[in-house]
Amino acid sequence: MTRRALVVVALALCAACGSTSARIPLQRAAGTLPPTTTTAPTTTTTPPPPPTTVSLPPANAVMSPRGHPLPVDGQNAQGWLVETPCGKTTTLSAGTPIATPTVVLDPGHGGGETGAIGPNHLREAVVNLAVSQVTKATLEANGVTVVMTRGDDTRVVLTTRSALVRKLHPTAMVSIHHNSTPDGPRNDPGTEIYYQARSPESKRLSGLIYEEVVRALSRYQIPWVGLVDAGAKYRLNSQGGDYYHMLRETAGTPSVIAELAYISDPPEADLLARPEVQRVEGEAVARGILRYLRTQDPGSGYVTPLPRPSSDNGGGGENCVDPPL
Ligand SMILES: [Zn+2]
């Protein structure tokens, strides 16, 4: 082990024990209280200062000082009670309230939770964010307000993402992903846009985004892959509810999950690594959203899904480490 490695280990140990060592003085103090005596103490102790009271405006969600959008569950004298990117509860004493936007964009995965990884080592989380940023810029250029569930490569658990949607209650939510595990080759892009089974608005949003994304990607002449039942579709769990967390736990906001193309497939992964293709995808998603907001167009590409075995789609908080807020 090199000297540098030793230093790193020492730092890691220190970081791991930080929260424990902070509690030790409290436990020691409790265990060593002086016995009750009849004589007055010879010295007086200074009482601790009262906790600083912070006056903050009420908010449903706040942008933390380091740029993390956090759902707010309440308020106390020290600040807002927020849900962290890892899904824990903490008190935040500074930040900016987030106004309700028209659209929430949800770039899937992030940080150590990478999502699918392409044969060219492209991480789904990175492409999802790049495409979402194009969609956001395009919507904003058209006067539509947007909040993203993450603005950088931070891991954010699904419960924090869906809580943010519920707290902000936007007109629409679009979760942006890239797919893996196709059934086989197709003549056209295997784009899948999942909608909330009981929401006609969510269904129309999915059909409009499907139409725009397939039209935009079809300009590329590559051997596409996909499921045999690709399209604008729903997926149910064993209780008959929406299978995907970001559709089930956002009920009340028309929401879709957009699986734009297959990052697991070599030709598609090579396409997705190109910034101009990310731009084509992002602009197509934005056009679908704008048509949803501004027209009564019905959308297209609706399919009846085949039954699929359930799978673990991640997004939980195991081993999650919150960033500085
Ligand atoms: Zn994904």
306 within a domain of the structure (yes/no): no
311 within a domain of the structure (yes/no): no
The pLDDT value recorded for residue 201 is: 98
> CA nearest 60: which of 47, 73, 44, 76?
73
In this predicted model, what pLDDT tens digit does every residue of 5-23 receive, in sequence order? 433 333 333 333 333 333 3
The pLDDT value recorded for residue 312 is: 60
Residues 195 and 112 in one domain: yes
> CA nearest 127: which of 261, 233, 232, 247?
261
Residues 91 and 161 in one domain: no
Q: Provide the token pair at 248.
A: 């089930």
Number of other CB atoms surrounding residue 96 within 10 Å:
14
For the entire predicted model, the pTM comes to 0.83
Q: Which residues of the chain have pLDDT under 50?
A: 1-41
CATH number, domain at 206?
A: 3.40.630.40
Residues 124 and 149 in one domain: yes
Contact present, 195 and 292 (Cβ < 8 Å)? no
Residues 80 and 106 in one domain: no
Residues 151 and 86 in one domain: no
80 within a domain of the structure (yes/no): yes
Last residue of a domain, one of 49, 69, 96: 96
Residues 174 and 285 in one domain: yes
CA of 123 relative to ligand 1 center, distance in Å = 10
In angstroms, the Cα distances linking 246 to 170, 229, 230, 292 are: 14, 21, 19, 19
Last residue of a domain, one of 52, 76, 96: 96
CA of 113 relative to ligand 1 center, distance in Å = 10
Residues 233 and 119 in one domain: yes
139 within a domain of the structure (yes/no): yes
Contact present, 238 and 309 (Cβ < 8 Å)? no
CA of 246 relative to ligand 1 center, distance in Å = 11
In angstroms, the Cα distances linking 152 to 56, 92, 219, 249 are: 26, 20, 30, 23
Residues 92 and 105 in one domain: no
* Overall domain count for the chain: 2
CA of 124 relative to ligand 1 center, distance in Å = 7
Residues 276 and 138 in one domain: yes
Residues ≥6 apart with Cβ < 8 Å to 90: 81, 82, 84, 325
86 within a domain of the structure (yes/no): yes
CA of 178 relative to ligand 1 center, distance in Å = 5
Find the domain containing 258 and state its range: 100-294
The pLDDT value recorded for residue 10 is: 37
CA of 314 relative to ligand 1 center, distance in Å = 9
The pLDDT value recorded for residue 53 is: 75
CA of 35 relative to ligand 1 center, distance in Å = 60
In this predicted model, what pLDDT tens digit does every residue of 95-113 receive, in sequence order? 999 999 999 999 999 999 9
